[in-house]
Amino acid sequence: MKASKKRHISSKLKKNRVLLKSRRLARHIPKTKRFSRHSLDKMLDRYKMVYLKPVNGLKGRGIMRAKKTGGKYQLRKGTSSSVFKDVRSLYQSVRKKIRKKPYLIQKGIRTLRYHGRSFDFRIMVQKNERRKWEVSGIVGRVAPPKRIVTNRSQGGKCKPAGLLLRPNMKHSQIKPYLKSLFRLSRRIGRQFEKAYPIVNKLGVDIAVRDDLKPWILEVNTRPAVTPFVKLGNKRMYRRIVHLLRWNKKRSS
């Protein structure tokens, strides 16, 4: 794997390829393809639900969800929904919306829910004073009513991770489960570092399927601190900011 001096990587496909080089991480990455008529048809036929995302998108903007139910196709963006009689009509509608912007298509994950709403986790991993990857924060992000994205900029709410897991597992299982997510996130940091050695912070987005298997939705090289401010956990926030400052000073 050829190392790069880049610190910020915008392409979701490039970041995906880095993680897929690890056999252990590959098991947690939803099937992802560059968007095309062929990939839309094949992936809907196989998975029945897919997400369409801008390759270089930010803050959940432009994300759509497509479903195949019987002989019908549904496209959802924001709070609006459209139904199409065939995949050709669906594809043409998506093309009108995205124009020439590069998009990817990703296998849909049927995630755990909190009060009927889907949620995922943003896990902050940073290089610490010993130059090891450390989980410095975790926040749950709950999608607004009738929306498909959990991003705070799209109306998502920040909640403690343990709170969101409570309806889905025994109390005694929550702490060990979160530790397993932390191990996965540190592994992502170590794998990412092989391709991008100077990266010192990552925001890892993980969704949990209804059978409790974690899936890596995305890795962000410019993770925002705002969700952790909204969470209100001052100890967590202070640790994140301390490591941001420490790494900035070290790299200057």
Query: Per residue in 182-191, pLDDT tens?
Result: 999 999 999 9
As a whole number, mean pLDDT of residues 81-101 equals 95
- Tell me what pLDDT residue 148 has: 80
Mean per-residue pLDDT for 145-169? 86
For 171, the token pair is: 């109390």
- Whole-angstrom Cα Rg for the chain: 18
Q: What is the pLDDT of residues 12-64, one digit of tens each?
A: 999 999 999 999 999 999 999 999 999 999 999 999 999 999 999 877 788 99
**What's the predicted TM-score (pTM) here?**
0.93
Here the tokens at position 87 are: 């995949």
* Angle separating helix axes 171-195 and 12-20, nearest 10 degrees: 100
3.90.1150.10, 2.70.98.70, 3.30.470.20, 3.40.50.300: CATH of 12-29+111-251: 3.30.470.20
Domain ranges for the chain: 12-29+111-251, 32-107
Other residues' Cβ atoms within 10 Å of the Cβ of residue 221: 17
Going by their DSSP bridges, the two strands 32-34 and 103-107 should be labelled as antiparallel
Name the strand (E) or helix (H) holding 103: strand 103-107
Residues 213, 224: Cα–Cα separation, whole Å = 26
Residue-level pLDDT at 2: 60
